Structure 1
Amino acid sequence: MDKLSKLPSGIIESTLCLLPIQEAARTSILSKEWRYHWTKIPKLVFIEEDAFEVSTDGAELSVLEQTFDRPSERKMMTNRCKLFYAIYQVLLVHEGPINEFTLCMPVDGSCVEIDHIIRHLSKKKTVKILKLDFNGSYRLPLSLFSFHQLTELYLNGCVLDHQPSSIGFGSLTTLNMQEIWTCDKTLLRLLSSCPLLKRLTINSDGGTIDESGDLTMADLFECLRGI
């Protein structure tokens, strides 16, 4: 048995967490014991511009990558469709908890595929760190407010215009919002649902926070009294 096969599972999975998901999937070829370790890593990162870089080192393709090279209609997919397909495949075969999830891609308006991904993650009830970077104006779905176990939430290039009946971010300690489109009432309602919040960053450059005129700074400070 080689040395790689003798490594404890915890060390293997911690190492794989440091790699982009496509690189982590490539480790499936290292040995029989490594074949499915990448499906158990608790940290998943998907960045569109990095997802389909062509390998120049002659490395053998992983099981995941081979699904994109079959002689079929998938060869005609756009990179974005391939990315969504890859995410769906990873979520389908993933075992164990997903503690951290990152998705970075330019999106304007609604996107059903991303809505499905967020809804799926919310149902797992294990995600503690969620990073959504869209560099546009993606309209966040209602399912975002179902991540009751979140401790850190990072949003960039999103539209927050829902008025859900309840917002339960009772465990959230870090909230970072960049280029957000929302209104002051929605923002204050969101902040008031985060009793454990310790770190707050709001940057509306490139975004908009509409003012209703009937809310005051006192309302804001009341929401932030725990910070």
Structure 2
Amino acid sequence: MGDVEAWDLFSDLPQFIIESILTRLRIRDAVRTSILSTEWSYRWASLTHLVFDDKCVALYNDKGLLEINLIKFITGVLFLHQGPINKFQLSASYLQCCPDIDQWILFLSRCEIKELVLELGEGEWFRVPSCLFNCKMLTRLELARCEFDPLLVLRDSYA
């Protein structure tokens, strides 16, 4: 059997098997499957578990460049994502407070997210935006180096 025939067999796998394969890959590698063929262009875009870390982008000696590339990667994945997101996990030692995280949480609050894990890097603590309280389907929340504005918590609990 030639390589082309073997590839056709792989491309014709049932969707649930393809999803199973993609969920076992790191998000960076799942996104890279887009180059396999036009049929695979956005198969990764319906993954329900999105797990990001510092290894999602190439490592650079320049911490600022790493942070910029990580932000672009996560924003791009969320922008192209289709369907529900059950889990969003961000474990990034190089990523600190930035307005993009607020935008991601706002986006996720509209996706009926069930699990949210934020483990951010050293330095300034991240102030969680009040839109997090709109995540009504949230069953698991883990925050590291994050803080709430107590006045927002009180205000939103009585709204």
Pick the TM interval, shorter chain.
0.7 to 0.9
Higher Cα radius of gyration: 1
Q: In structure 1, what is the equivalent of residue 130 of structure 2?
A: 142
Q: In structure 2, what is the equivalent of residue 4 of structure 1?
A: 10
For 1:167 and 1:134, how far apart are their aligned partners in 2? 26
Deviation of the 1:52 alpha carbon: 2.1
Report the TM-score when normalising by structure 2.
0.80
Code of the residue aligned with 2:17 in structure 1: it is I
Alignment counterpart, residue 157 of structure 1, candidates 145, 148, 151: 145
Deviation of the 1:167 alpha carbon: 4.2
Q: Deviations 1:162-219 (Å, cap 9, x if unpaired)?
A: 3332349xxxxxxxxxxxxxxxxxxxxxxxxxxxxxxxxxxxxxxxxxxxxxxxxxxx
Deviation of the 1:45 alpha carbon: 1.1
Q: In structure 2, what is the equivalent of residue 40 of structure 1?
A: 46
Q: Is the 2:118–2:143 contact (alpha carbons within 8 Å) kept by the matching residues of 1?
A: yes
1:129 is aligned to 2:115: yes
Code of the residue aligned with 1:99 in structure 2: it is N
Q: Greater helix share, 1 or 2? A: 2
Aligned to 1:101, what secondary structure does the other structure show?
strand
> Aligned residues, how many?
143
Q: What is the RMSD computed on CA atoms of the aligned residues?
A: 2.1
Deviation of the 1:40 alpha carbon: 1.1
Change in CA separation of 1:9 and 1:167 when aligned onto 2, cut-off 3 Å? farther
Q: In structure 2, what is the equivalent of residue 111 of structure 1?
A: 98
Identity %: 38
Q: In structure 2, what is the equivalent of residue 28 of structure 1?
A: 34
Question: What are the within-5 Å matches in structure 2 for residues 214-225 of structure 1?
Answer: none
1:102 is aligned to 2:102: no
For 1:12 and 1:44, how far apart are their aligned partners in 2? 16
Q: Is the 1:40–1:96 contact (alpha carbons within 8 Å) kept by the matching residues of 2?
A: yes
Q: Deviations 1:127-185 (Å, cap 9, x if unpaired)?
A: 111110014421111111111101111111111233332349xxxxxxxxxxxxxxxxx
Q: Is the 1:14–1:41 contact (alpha carbons within 8 Å) kept by the matching residues of 2?
A: no
Report the TM-score when normalising by structure 1.
0.57
Alignment counterpart, residue 73 of structure 2, candidates 71, 86, 97: 86
Q: Is the 2:45–2:82 contact (alpha carbons within 8 Å) kept by the matching residues of 1?
A: yes
Q: Deviations 1:56-76 (Å, cap 9, x if unpaired)?
A: xxxxxxxxxxxxxxxxxxxxx
Gaps of 5+ in 1: 55-76, 169-227
Q: Is the 1:142–1:162 contact (alpha carbons within 8 Å) kept by the matching residues of 2?
A: no
Q: Greater strand share, 1 or 2? A: 1
For 1:129 and 1:78, how far apart are their aligned partners in 2? 29
Gaps of 5+ in 2: none
For 1:25 and 1:152, how far apart are their aligned partners in 2? 25
